[in-house]
Amino acid sequence: MNKFGTTTLPLAGWIANPQRPGESRTQRMQAIRQIVTNHGLDAVELTLDLNAIYPQVFDSRFYQSVAELQQTRGFLCTVHLPFLWVELASLNEQIREASIASLRQAIEVTRAVDVHTYVLHLWGFTTMQVLSQLQDSVQRELVTGVLMSQASRSLAALCEVVDPADLCVENLEDSLFELAVPIVEEHGTSICLDVGHLTLQGGCALSFLDRHRDRIREVHLHDAIVPRTDEWQTARDHLALGQGNLDHEAFLEKLAEIGYEGPIILELNSEPDLVQSLQRLKSIM
């Protein structure tokens, strides 16, 4: 049976107060309790950029408290490894090594928690920006090959500290994921299917499920708008279910058809969006 969940971001946001660490920790723990108790969800995804940005607030003691609450309440935990200002495919070796160190730190600080899966962005915004500037196809292919080689080295380093099967490479808002599939297969890692990202690109989530069904261990669910060429609407994702172009009912039916039983994490930015999405799910489940 699927375990639906969400992050603490719709309830507690991205911001903490280093001058009042106790208050920030309490607010985040209350958000976790709300997810499990008020909203009745089975899973919580921990956003580890919070640890990377506010290490003095979200330290090992905080995650020990999360672990104790997890044991009491019995919810499943997933971890989204840091991705802000992180670049695992960097051609600048100092940046790549620092990025690996940041992710390893995040893994270590959550050791007390029973973590089901670790979600990973195998490249960052800089990689996407660099490639978007390369108009020459030969040059783009050469640079992409080097970037993927760097990403593969970084993935190998992370597989030294996490079971590869628990490490889920996420498809992002770009078209690079298929180039990363050989890397995923080489290292034996899993996949996090982000349905909103795929929808944003005009991709087919049902086909993605058919191709990668044996490796998908986590799903990120949110709606997205894909504007037509005759519209001025801006492409957007991380929307409440029903606000975009995603046929979430057909997607959930396909998940059931292939026997997927892992976590489905609603990646949203506000509590009203979370409530609307849960109401949508309740109406079709």
What is the model's pLDDT at position 233? Answer: 59
Query: Which pLDDT band, with edges at 50, 70 and 90, does 103 fall under?
Result: very high
* pLDDT tops 90 at residue 174: no
* pLDDT tops 90 at residue 102: yes
Amino acid symbol at 180: A
Buried b or exposed e, range 163-201, using 16+ CB within 10 angstroms: ebebbbbbbbbbebbeebeebbeeeebbbbbbbbbbbbb
Q: Note the pLDDT tens digit of each residue in 69-83.
A: 999 999 999 999 999
Per cent of the chain over pLDDT 90 is 84
What average pLDDT score do residues 157-178 get? 94
Q: In terms of pLDDT, which residue wins out, 1 or 157?
A: 157
| Cβ(246)–Cβ(195) below 8 Å | yes
What is the model's pLDDT at position 284? Answer: 84
* pLDDT tops 70 at residue 229: no
Mean pLDDT of the chain: 94
The region of weakest confidence among 126-140, 187-201, 241-255 is 126-140
What average pLDDT score do residues 136-156 get? 93
Q: What tokens appear for 78 in the block?
A: 């997933």
* pLDDT tops 70 at residue 1: no
Q: In terms of pLDDT, which residue wins out, 212 or 128?
A: 212
| CA–CA gap between residue 90 and residue 96 (Å, rounded) | 5
> SS3 letters for 25-89?
HHHHHHHHHHHHHHCCCCEEEEECHHHHHCCCCCCHHHHHHHHHHHHHHCCEEEEECCCCCCCCC
In the chain, count H helices and then E strands.
12, 10
What average pLDDT score do residues 266-277 get? 96
What is the model's pLDDT at position 139? Answer: 87
| Cβ(96)–Cβ(146) below 8 Å | no
Query: Which pLDDT band, with edges at 50, 70 and 90, does 2 fall under?
Result: low
Query: Which pLDDT band, with edges at 50, 70 and 90, does 128 fall under?
Result: confident
What is the model's pLDDT at position 258? Answer: 94
Per cent of the chain over pLDDT 70 is 96
| CA–CA gap between residue 26 and residue 55 (Å, rounded) | 15
What average pLDDT score do residues 149-174 get? 96
| CA–CA gap between residue 9 and residue 94 (Å, rounded) | 30
Helix (H/G/I), strand (E/B), else coil: 202? coil
Q: What CA–CA distances, in Å, run from 273 to 31, 239, 243? A: 15, 7, 9
Q: Of 184, 119, 129, 125, which Cα lies nearest the Cα of 151? A: 184
Q: What tokens appear for 280 in the block?
A: 């949508």
* pLDDT tops 60 at residue 226: yes
Query: What global pTM score does this model have?
Result: 0.94
Q: What tokens appear for 222 in the block?
A: 């949110």
Question: How many other CB atoms sit within 10 Å of the CB of residue 236?
Answer: 15
**Domain 3-284, CATH:** 3.20.20.150
Q: What is the CA radius of gyration of the chain?
A: 19
